[in-house]
C-alpha cells in the first residue's frame, strides 16, 4: 500500500533503471530561457480618522536575464517618493504632526548558477533614504530530489543599517544596526494538485531599533525573531483554479507574537487571470509598549501620557506598530495576457487595522488605521 | 520489434548523426534480442524455460528490470503482473471466441508475481508453465535507452518512436523550427473519423498509449479486448485508449498500461502519479489532464 500512496512512484522507479535518469526530462532547476522586463507603478496612502498620513509613489523596474547557459541575473530597482505626516505618539493627534517628505531608492541584484539538481544564488541589496542607509548580502541554495517532488532550501543573509537623521534636524547620529538571518525550508509536492512548503527563519539583530521620530521611545539594542511559515497551494481541477493559503507565526524578543493567515484564489478566465485575496493578521504588544494614559473622564490625554512616559525607565515605546492589534487586507489582482510574452496587471489592496480586529482585544485608545494600495504593472518576455 | 519504428534526428553534421542513429538502432536490437519472449535465446525465454526447475542468475540490467516489474506490481496493487502473459493461451482473439469453461481457472494458478522467487540476483518461476514477460515497459525502456545513446553521441534534437512508444529528446533542431516542440499525434481508438484524436506539443519526455483496439473481438454485442485482469483472467474494457505523457517513455508506458487495468479509478490514479494524460472512455468521451495540455 505504501507504494501506491507515493506520488509519482512509477516514475521514481524508472529512475533506477540503467541510463534512464539521464534522459528523463525532470531537471529540478533550470535557468530561465527567456529574459523578462517588468515595470510597475505603485501608489500607497494611509490615513486615520481626520488625518491623512503617508502617501507613497513608487515606480519599479525589474529585469531577469539568462546568460552563459547556466546562469541568470536578476535586478530590481524601486524609487519611492514619500510625503505626509507621521503621528508623534500613539495615534492620537497631539499638537502639530511634523510634515515630512522623503525619497527612498532601493536596488537588489541576484546572480544564480544552476546545476542539474540545484542552484545557488548570491544577492546584494542597497536601500537609501535621507536618514537611513541599508546594505544587505545573502546566499541561498536549493536542492531537489531525483523525482523532483521535494526541494530543500537554505539561506543566509546579512544586513547592515545606518540611521542618521541629523540632516533633517533630528538628534540621532550615526546609529548602526546589524541583522543576520538563517533560513531553512522545504517544498514538497504532496499530490499532483498539492504543494506544501515549510520555512523556518531565525533572525538576530543588534544595534539601534528605536524610532528616531518618536518621543519617549527607547527600545532594546537587540532583537531576535523566529518565524515559521507554512504554505499550501491546491489546484482545483473542477474550476481550473489554484488556492494559495499560508500561515505565518512570528515571535521575537520584544515580546511580540503574531499570526498571519492568508488565502488567495487564482482564477484563469481565458487570457485573464483574476486573483482575489484575503489576509488576516493579529499581534500581541511588545513587552515595553505603553498605553495612552486617560484622564478622570476616561479620555486619553496627551499631557498625562507625556507626563507618564517621562518617568518611564528601561525600555518603552508608544509606537502603534508595537501595540496589540488585528488587521485585515482585502486585495484583488487582475492580469491580462496579450500573448505568452506580454501581460499587464492591476492590483488593488485595502488594509484596515484596529484593536478590535484582534481576537481577545487589542491595545486600548488607538485610532483605527486604514491604507490603500494600487499597483499597475507591465511585463514582457523576450 | 514487430511494429513500425522510426528515428527522427535533426542537427548539423550528417556523418555524426548517422553514427548516432546506427548506435541507437543497435541498442534497440540489443534490448529486443535480450528480452523478447519470442526469441528462444533471450534472457526472458531462458527464465521461462527454467520454470519449475533451477533458479537462474541474472545480470545487472535484467535485475533492474525485474526490480522494476516488482515495483510496478506493488504500485498497482497487483494489477500489473509480469507473469500474466500466460492468460493469452485462453484468449484467442483471432478466433473470436470465449475461453473454454474451466480454461481460465486452470491458468490462474500460474499467474502471480507473488509466487516468483526473486532475491535481487537469482530468479525462479516455481511452477512449470509459468511465463514472464516485459510487456508494458520493455519496448518503452528500449526507446529511452536509444535516446540515451543518441544523447551520448551529441544528438540534442531527436524523436524515437518504437511502435507508438515515443521518446522526445529535445525540441526540433532544423533551421526554421529550432526550439519548437515536436507535434506528436495521438491515434483515434476507433475508425470512422479521420485525423488524429489530438496532437500534443512535446519538447522533451515520453509518450505512450495503451488501447483496447490492438487485439479484440466482439461477441453478442460485447467487446473483449486484450487488457486482462491478472486476478480474474477476464478483459477490462473501460477505456478505449489511454495516452500518458511522462518524463520518460518507460514511465509513460507503465502508467498507461496500469491505468487501462485500473478501470474507473484510472484517471485519479494517473493524476496522483503526477502524469499528464489523455483518455477515451468506453462510451467515446475524451478526458484529459491537465485540461488544456497540448491542444487539439
Q: What is the pLDDT of residue B182?
A: 92
Q: Which residue of A has its CA nearest to B288?
A: A237
Supply A374's cell numbers.
Answer: 494600487
Q: What is the pLDDT of residue B203?
A: 86
- Percent of chain B at pLDDT > 90 equals 65
* Domain count for chain B: 2
Please identify, among B109, B124, B139, the residue that sits at the C-terminal boundary of a domain.
B124
Q: Are B205 and A18 within 8 A, CB to CB?
A: no
Q: How far is B95 from chain A (nearest CA, A)?
A: 35
CATH of the domain at B99: 1.10.3980.10
Pick the more confident residue, B80 or A93: B80
Q: Are A18 and B258 within 8 A, CB to CB?
A: no
pLDDT in tens, B89-128: 899 888 888 998 899 999 999 999 999 999 999 999 999 9
pLDDT in tens, A115-164: 877 899 999 999 998 888 999 999 999 998 766 678 999 999 999 999 99
Q: How far apart are CA B159 and CA B21, in angstroms?
A: 11
Checking if the pLDDT of A240 tops 70, the result is yes
pLDDT in tens, B128-184: 999 999 988 999 999 999 999 998 888 889 999 999 999 999 888 888 787 788 999
Terminal Cα distance for chain B, rounded: 30
Q: What is the pLDDT of residue B294?
A: 42
Q: What is the pLDDT of residue A268?
A: 87
Give me the helix-helix angle, B249-262 and B60-75, nearest 10°: 30
B137 part of a folded domain? no
pLDDT band of residue A99 (cuts 50, 70, 90) is: low
Q: Are B248 and A19 within 8 A, CB to CB?
A: no
pLDDT band of residue A23 (cuts 50, 70, 90) is: confident
B155 part of a folded domain? no
B239 part of a folded domain? yes
Checking if the pLDDT of A6 tops 50, the result is no
Q: Which of residues 169-208 of A touch B (CB under 8 A)?
A: 189, 191-193
Residue B236, domain extent: 181-289
CATH of the domain at B277: 3.10.520.10
Residues of A in contact with B205 (CB under 8 A): 24-25
pTM: 0.61
B78 part of a folded domain? yes
Whether residues B104 and B188 share a domain: the answer is: no
Q: What is the pLDDT of residue A86?
A: 62
Checking if the pLDDT of A33 tops 80, the result is no
Q: What is the pLDDT of residue B262?
A: 93
Q: Which class would CATH give A31-381?
A: mainly beta
Residues of B in contact with A25 (CB under 8 A): 204-205, 247-248
Checking if the pLDDT of A83 tops 50, the result is yes
Q: How far apart are CA A291 and CA A25, in angstroms?
A: 60
Q: What is the pLDDT of residue A27?
A: 53
ipTM attached to this prediction: 0.90
Q: How far apart are CA B78 and CA B81, in angstroms?
A: 6
Residues of A in contact with B60 (CB under 8 A): 18
If 0-12 CB within 10 Å is exposed, 13-18 middle and 19+ buried, where does residue B137 land? buried
Whether residues B283 and B198 share a domain: the answer is: yes
Supply A365's cell numbers.
Answer: 485608545
Q: How far is A378 from chain B (nearest CA, A)?
A: 25
Lowest mean pLDDT among A146-155, B27-36, B147-156, B232-241: A146-155
HEC sequence for chain A:
CHHHHCCCHHHHHHCCCCCCHHHCCCCCCCCCCCCEEEEEEEEEEEEECCEEEEEEEEEEEEEEEEECCCEEEEEEEEEEEEEEECCCCCCCCCCCCCEEEEEEEEEEEEEEEECCCEEEEEEEEEEEECCEEEEEEEEEEEEECCCCCEEEEEEEEEEEEEECCHHHCCCCCCEEEEEEEEEEEEEEEEECCEEEEEEEEEEEEEECCCCCCCCCCECCCEEEEEEEEEEEEEEECCCCEEEEEEEEEEEECCCCEEEEEEEEEEEEECCEEEEEEEEEEEECCCCCECCCCECCCCCECHHHHHHHHHCCCCCEECCHHHCCEEEEEEEEEEEEECCCCEEEEEEEEEEEEEHHHCCCCCCCCCCCEEEEEEEEEEEEEC
- Percent of chain B at pLDDT > 70 equals 97
pLDDT in tens, A325-336: 999 999 999 999
Q: Are A321 and A298 in contact (CB under 8 A)?
A: no
- Percent of chain A at pLDDT > 70 equals 91
Q: How far apart are CA A379 and CA A374, in angstroms?
A: 17
DSSP state of B46: H
Supply A245's cell numbers.
Answer: 493559503
Q: How far apart are CA A264 and CA A236, in angstroms?
A: 13
B281 part of a folded domain? yes
Q: What is the pLDDT of residue A191?
A: 76
Average pLDDT over residues A103-116: 90
Average pLDDT over residues A214-228: 92
Dihedral class, residue A114 (left if φ above 0, else alpha if ψ from -120 to 50, else beta): beta
Type and span of the H or E element at B61? helix B60-75
Q: Are A14 and B68 within 8 A, CB to CB?
A: yes
pLDDT in tens, A266-311: 998 988 999 999 999 999 999 999 999 999 998 888 889 989 999 9
Please identify, among B124, B159, B189, the residue that sits at the C-terminal boundary of a domain.
B124
Pick the more confident residue, B220 or A193: B220
Amino acid at each position: 500500500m505504501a507504494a501506491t500512496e507515493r506520488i509519482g512512484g512509477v516514475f521514481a522507479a524508472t529512475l533506477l533503471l540503467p541510463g534512464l535518469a539521464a534522459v528523463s526530462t525532470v531537471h529540478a532547476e533550470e535557468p530561465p530561457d527567456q529574459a523578462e522586463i517588468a515595470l510597475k507603478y505603485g501608489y500607497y496612502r494611509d490615513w486615520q480618522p481626520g488625518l491623512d498620513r503617508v502617501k507613497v509613489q513608487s515606480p519599479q523596474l525589474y529585469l531577469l536575464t539568462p546568460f552563459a547557459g547556466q546562469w541568470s541575473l536578476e535586478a530590481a530597482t524601486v524609487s519611492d517618493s514619500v510625503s505626509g505626516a507621521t503621528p508623534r505618539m500613539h495615534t492620537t493627534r497631539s499638537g502639530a504632526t511634523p510634515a515630512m517628505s522623503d525619497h527612498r531608492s532601493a536596488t537588489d541584484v541576484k546572480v544564480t548558477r544552476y546545476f542539474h539538481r540545484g542552484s545557488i544564488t548570491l544577492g546584494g541589496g542597497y536601500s537609501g533614504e535621507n536618514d537611513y542607509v541599508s546594505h544587505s548580502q545573502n546566499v541561498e541554495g536549493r536542492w531537489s530530489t531525483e523525482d523532483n517532488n521535494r526541494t530543500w532550501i537554505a539561506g543566509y543573509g546579512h544586513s547592515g543599517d545606518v540611521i542618521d537623521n541629523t540632516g533633517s534636524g533630528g538628534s540621532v547620529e550615526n546609529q548602526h544596526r546589524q541583522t543576520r538571518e538563517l533560513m531553512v525550508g522545504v517544498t514538497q509536492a504532496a499530490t499532483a494538485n498539492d504543494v506544501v512548503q515549510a520555512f523556518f527563519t531565525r533572525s538576530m539583530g543588534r544595534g539601534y531599533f528605536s524610532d528616531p521620530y518618536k518621543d519617549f521611545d527607547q527600545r532594546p539594542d537587540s532583537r531576535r525573531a523566529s518565524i515559521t511559515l507554512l504554505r499550501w497551494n491546491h489546484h482545483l481541477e473542477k474550476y481550473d483554479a489554484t488556492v494559495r493559503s499560508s500561515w505565518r507565526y512570528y515571535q521575537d524578543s520584544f515580546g511580540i507574537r503574531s499570526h498571519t493567515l492568508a488565502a488567495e484564489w487564482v482564477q484563469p478566465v481565458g487570457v485573464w487571470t483574476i486573483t482575489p485575496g484575503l489576509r488576516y493578521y493579529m499581534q500581541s504588544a511588545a513587552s515595553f509598549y505603553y498605553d495612552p494614559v486617560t484622564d478622570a473622564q476616561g479620555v486619553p490625554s496627551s499631557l498625562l501620557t507625556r507626563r507618564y512616559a517621562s518617568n518611564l525607565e528601561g525600555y518603552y515605546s508608544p509606537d502603534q506598530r508595537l501595540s496589540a492589534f488585528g488587521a485585515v487586507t482585502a486585495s484583488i489582482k487582475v492580469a491580462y495576457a496579450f500573448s505568452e510574452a506580454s501581460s499587464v496587471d492591476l492590483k488593488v489592496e485595502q488594509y484596515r487595522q484596529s484593536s478590535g480586529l484582534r481576537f481577545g482585544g487589542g491595545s486600548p485608545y488607538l485610532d483605527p488605521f486604514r491604507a490603500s494600495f494600487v499597483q499597475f504593472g507591465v511585463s514582457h518576455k523576450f | 520489434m514487430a511494429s513500425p519504428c522510426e528515428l527522427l534526428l535533426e542537427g548539423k553534421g550528417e556523418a555524426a548523426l548517422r553514427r548516432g542513429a546506427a548506435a541507437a538502432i543497435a541498442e534497440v536490437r540489443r534490448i529486443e534480442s535480450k528480452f523478447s519472449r519470442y526469441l528462444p535465446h533471450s534472457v526472458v525465454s531462458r527464465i521461462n524455460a527454467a520454470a519449475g526447475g533451477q533458479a537462474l542468475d541474472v545480470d545487472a540490467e535484467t535485475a533492474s528490470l525485474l526490480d522494476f516489474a516488482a515495483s510496478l506490481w506493488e504500485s498497482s496493487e497487483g494489477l500489473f503482473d509480469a507473469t500474466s502473459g500466460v492468460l493469452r493461451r485462453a484468449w484467442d482473439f483471432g478466433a473470436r471466441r470465449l475461453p473454454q469453461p474451466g480454461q481460465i481457472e486452470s491458468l490462474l494458478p500460474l499467474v502471480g508475481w507473488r509466487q516468483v522467487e526473486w532475491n535481487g540476483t537469482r530468479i525462479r518461476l516455481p511452477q512449470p508453465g509459468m511465463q514472464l514477460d516485459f510487456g508494458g515497459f520493455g519496448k518503452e525502456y528500449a526507446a529511452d535507452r536509444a535516446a540515451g545513446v543518441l544523447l551520448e553521441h551529441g544528438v540534442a534534437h531527436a524523436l524515437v518512436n518504437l511502435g507508438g512508444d515515443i521518446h522526445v529528446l529535445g525540441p526540433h533542431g532544423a533551421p526554421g523550427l529550432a526550439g519548437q516542440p515536436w507535434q506528436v499525434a495521438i491515434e483515434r481508438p476507433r475508425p470512422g473519423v479521420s485525423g488524429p484524436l489530438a496532437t500534443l506539443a512535446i519538447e522533451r519526455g515520453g509518450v505512450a498509449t495503451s488501447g483496447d483496439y490492438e487485439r479484440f473481438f466482439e461477441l453478442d454485442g460485447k467487446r473483449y479486448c486484450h487488457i486482462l485482469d491478472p486476478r480474474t483472467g477476464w478483459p477490462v474494457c473501460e477505456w478505449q485508449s489511454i495516452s500518458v505523457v511522462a518524463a520518460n517513455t518507460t514511465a509513460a508506458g507503465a502508467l498507461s498500461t496500469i491505468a487501462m487495468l485500473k478501470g474507473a479509478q484510472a484517471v485519479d490514479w494517473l493524476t496522483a502519479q503526477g502524469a499528464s494524460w489523455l483518455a477515451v472512455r468506453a462510451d467515446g468521451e475524451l478526458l484529459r489532464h491537465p485540461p488544456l495540455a497540448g491542444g487539439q
